């Protein structure tokens, strides 16, 4: 998989990818009078960046072509599913700005799936198989060798109906039997070599309780769910391309259009069930460097305590991105820039960061904060001096208004804005050197107080003629630094996040290492500093730019006015590339 730096679309409003071309042609030729799409997550984990692309594709197409979009939970594997995930998925979809036309579950159709399976048996197209999982793999064959028929493939219709009914009644233990489609064990597509339709699992289901000891397989349930809901275009990722013939086989051979009696239970439950033949279309999934997006691996990170939870701001989950402060609009912009294609690629993490910066730069008010505080005293001002300095809340947008920031002779500056021995090109504060104190005037450092080899305090003078409105205010110096009044600033916690992994492709285990070994030990640093008074009382999830430091968000869980907590969403520029090449 190659790394791709995605160019900015010169006209992002004009979308003419191959999926939209197909839809326009289907509408123009009358294949469909209207479209209907769906987003079908499995509730076995939290949604991540890849799901965001799928959500924007399905719901975006729905909005563009005026078609409803269903949210349907693929809840056919209850052993791995949890209501917690269901609630989080609904919250995530709404956070991205969408509302579904109908909320559905694959479990709404369990009776339909069962009756449809009986129809396949009676039509001689399905059979009950007693092979265990290992034997099934042995009989399946390889990519170069055909499979062999199961010794149970030629059971009579009557025996198959009896056995499947007893499976349904819960007579057999887990794994004892499966129901398999009877297709072609010599097919070049292994998915068509008599795939399983049902397996026995005595597991309680979150919606149906213990009513079902058998559960349908994904390919079977997904295709029939689409047909039942009248989905016209079933949008999937490329790994399902080889499954499309099986998808079509189930739709064609169950043939709900000609057998409405199969979905009477759906109608009785009050669910509308428009029947159509859906069309599956595949496109590339979203892969981002410096992260993993396997639910299994993300679950491992959570369960092993390698992150603080599914909403850890370093995680690529939508909950994690939200807590980190990523605006939903940035994910929409990312989806537009990545686009829709048939080519898998690894998108550089900097593309995501660039989208975040672009949105936050336009939408975030500016404030002052000091993350690593160093005391600075202006000695030629009275100790009790206090004044207000007026700043624009956004340098590019006057609609954000202005604010007054209290100033006093004792202030905090960031420690990195001072150097005892400045390196060449260092344009900030040093002994006997002038810099501009943002909005105040020019200061010069005359004395440095140290203890145990560490700088504790700077003593400086302010040139009174350089203050705003004075004749010397326009005098040029190379450096400008920000500040927070020591008297008026509010103590705050800063969580400085970086990339979770230290290598661009942590999924690549060719050297015998696993993704766990590539975790970045510097992916989070917690600092104690100060913010200007107006930053402290903002509500949770308020996004700000702390000038010269980066874009931050008030933590949605821990932030309060009395104890501010800010998460760094992204730096002001791509410092990772500067540091790592």
The DSSP-derived string for 168-232 is HHT-S-TTS-EEEE-S-TT-SSGGGSS-EEEEE----BTTTBTS-SEEE-HHHHHHHHHHHTT-S
Question: Is position 352 annotated in a ligand binding site?
Answer: no
Q: Which tokens hold the place of 7?
A: 């160019």
The rounded radius of gyration (Å) of the Cα atoms in the chain is 31
Question: Is position 74 annotated in a ligand binding site?
Answer: yes
- For the full predicted model, state whether its pTM sits above 0.95: no
The whole-angstrom separation of Cα 520 and Cα 452 is: 31
| Residues in CB range of 214: below 8 A, 6 or more apart | 114, 167, 168, 179, 198, 199, 200, 201
In this structure, the strands spanning 490-497 and 484-485 are unpaired
Question: Is position 285 annotated in a ligand binding site?
Answer: yes
Sheet of strand 441-451, all strands in order from the earlier edge strand to the far edge: 480-481, 434-437, 441-451, 454-462, 373-378, 410-414, 484-485
The whole-angstrom separation of Cα 406 and Cα 412 is: 13
Question: Is position 48 annotated in a ligand binding site?
Answer: yes
The whole-angstrom separation of Cα 371 and Cα 359 is: 23
DSSP string, 44-64: SS--BHHHHHHHHHHHHHHHH
Query: Is 285 part of the annotated catalytic residue set?
Result: yes
Query: Is 342 part of the annotated catalytic residue set?
Result: no
Question: Is position 124 annotated in a ligand binding site?
Answer: no
Query: Is 357 part of the annotated catalytic residue set?
Result: no
Q: Which tokens hold the place of 439?
A: 């909005």
Q: Show pLDDT as tens, one digit a residue, over the chain (581 residues).
A: 444 333 333 344 567 899 999 999 999 999 999 999 999 999 999 999 999 999 999 999 999 999 999 999 999 999 999 999 999 999 999 999 999 999 999 999 999 999 999 999 999 999 999 999 999 999 999 999 999 999 999 999 999 999 999 999 999 999 999 999 999 999 999 999 999 999 999 999 999 999 999 999 999 999 999 999 999 999 999 999 999 999 999 999 999 999 999 999 999 988 887 788 999 999 999 999 999 999 999 999 999 999 999 999 999 999 999 999 999 999 999 999 999 999 988 999 999 999 999 999 999 999 999 999 999 999 999 999 999 999 999 999 999 999 999 999 999 999 999 999 999 999 999 999 999 999 999 999 999 999 998 999 999 999 999 998 888 888 999 999 999 999 999 999 999 999 999 999 998 877 778 999 999 999 999 999 999 999 999 999 999 999 999 999 999 999 999 999 999 999 999 888 777 76
Q: For tokens 């989905």, what's the residue?
A: 231
Q: For tokens 């072509």, what's the residue?
A: 65
Which of 38, 42, 495, 533 is labelled catalytic? Answer: 42
Q: Which domains does the chain have, with CATH numbers?
A: 3-288 (3.40.50.620), 295-325+491-580 (2.40.240.10), 367-488 (2.40.240.10)
Which of 177, 295, 357, 499 is labelled catalytic? Answer: 295
Which of 285, 337, 415, 438 is labelled catalytic? Answer: 285
């Amino acid at each position: 998989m190659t790394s791709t730096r995605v160019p900015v679309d010169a006209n992002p409003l004009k979308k003419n990818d191959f999926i939209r071309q197909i839809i326009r042609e289907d509408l123009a030729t009358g294949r469909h009078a209207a479209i209907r799409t769906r987003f079908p997550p499995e509730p076995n984990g939290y949604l991540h960046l890849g799901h965001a692309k799928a959500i924007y594709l399905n719901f975006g197409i729905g909005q563009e072509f005026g078609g409803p979009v269903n949210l349907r939970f693929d809840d056919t594997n209850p052993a791995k599913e949890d209501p917690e995930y269901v609630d989080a998925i609904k919250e995530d979809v709404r956070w991205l700005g969408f509302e579904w036309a109908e909320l559905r579950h694959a479990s709404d159709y369990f009776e339909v799936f069962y009756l449809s399976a009986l129809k396949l048996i009676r039509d001689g197209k399905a059979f009950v198989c007693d092979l265990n999982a290992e034997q099934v793999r042995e009989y399946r064959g390889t990519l170069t060798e055909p499979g062999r028929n199961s010794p149970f493939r030629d059971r009579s219709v009557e025996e198959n109906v009896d056995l499947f009914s007893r499976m349904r009644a819960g007579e057999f233990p887990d794994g004892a039997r499966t129901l398999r489609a009877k297709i072609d064990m010599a097919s070049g597509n292994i998915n068509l070599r008599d795939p399983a339709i049902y397996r026995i699992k005595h597991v309680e289901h979150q919606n149906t309780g213990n009513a079902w000891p058998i559960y349908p397989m994904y390919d079977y349930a997904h295709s029939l769910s689409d047909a039942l809901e009248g989905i016209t275009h079933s949008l999937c990722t490329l790994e399902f391309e080889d499954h499309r013939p099986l998808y079509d086989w189930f739709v064609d051979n169950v043939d709900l259009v000609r057998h409405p009696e199969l979905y009477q239970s759906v109608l009785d439950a009050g669910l509308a069930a428009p029947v159509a033949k859906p069309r599956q279309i595949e496109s590339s999934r979203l892969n981002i460097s410096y992260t993993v997006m396997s639910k299994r691996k993300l679950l491992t990170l959570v369960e092993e305590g390698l992150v603080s939870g599914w909403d850890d701001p370093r995680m690529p989950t939508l909950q994690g991105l939200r807590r980190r402060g990523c605006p939903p609009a940035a994910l929409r912009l990312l989806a537009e820039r990545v686009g829709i294609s048939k080519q898998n690629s690894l998108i550089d993490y900097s593309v995501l960061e660039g989208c975040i910066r672009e949105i936050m730069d336009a939408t975030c008010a500016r404030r002052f904060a000091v993350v690593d505080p160093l005391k600075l005293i202006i000695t030629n001002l009275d100790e009790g001096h206090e004044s207000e300095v007026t700043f624009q809340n956004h340098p590019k947008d006057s609609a954000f208004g202005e604010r007054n920031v209290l100033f006093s002779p004792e202030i905090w500056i960031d420690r990195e804005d001072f150097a005892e021995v400045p390196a060449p090109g260092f344009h900030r504060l040093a002994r006997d050197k002038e810099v501009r104190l943002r909005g105040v005037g020019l200061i010069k450092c005359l004395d440095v107080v140290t203890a145990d080899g560490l700088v504790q305090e700077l003593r400086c003078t302010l040139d009174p003629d350089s203050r705003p409105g004075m004749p010397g205010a326009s005098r040029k110096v190379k450096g400008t630094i920000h500040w927070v009044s020591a008297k008026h600033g509010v103590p705050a916690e800063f969580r400085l996040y970086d990339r979770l992994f230290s290598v661009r492709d942590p999924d690549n285990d060719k050297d015998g290492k696993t993704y766990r070994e590539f975790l970045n030990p510097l992916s989070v640093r917690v600092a104690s500093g100060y913010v200007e008074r107006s930053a402290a009382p903002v509500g949770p999830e308020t996004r700000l730019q702390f000038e010269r430091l980066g874009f931050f968000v008030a933590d949605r869980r821990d932030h309060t006015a009395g104890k501010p907590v800010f998460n760094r969403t992204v730096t002001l520029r791509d410092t990772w590339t500067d540091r790592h090449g």
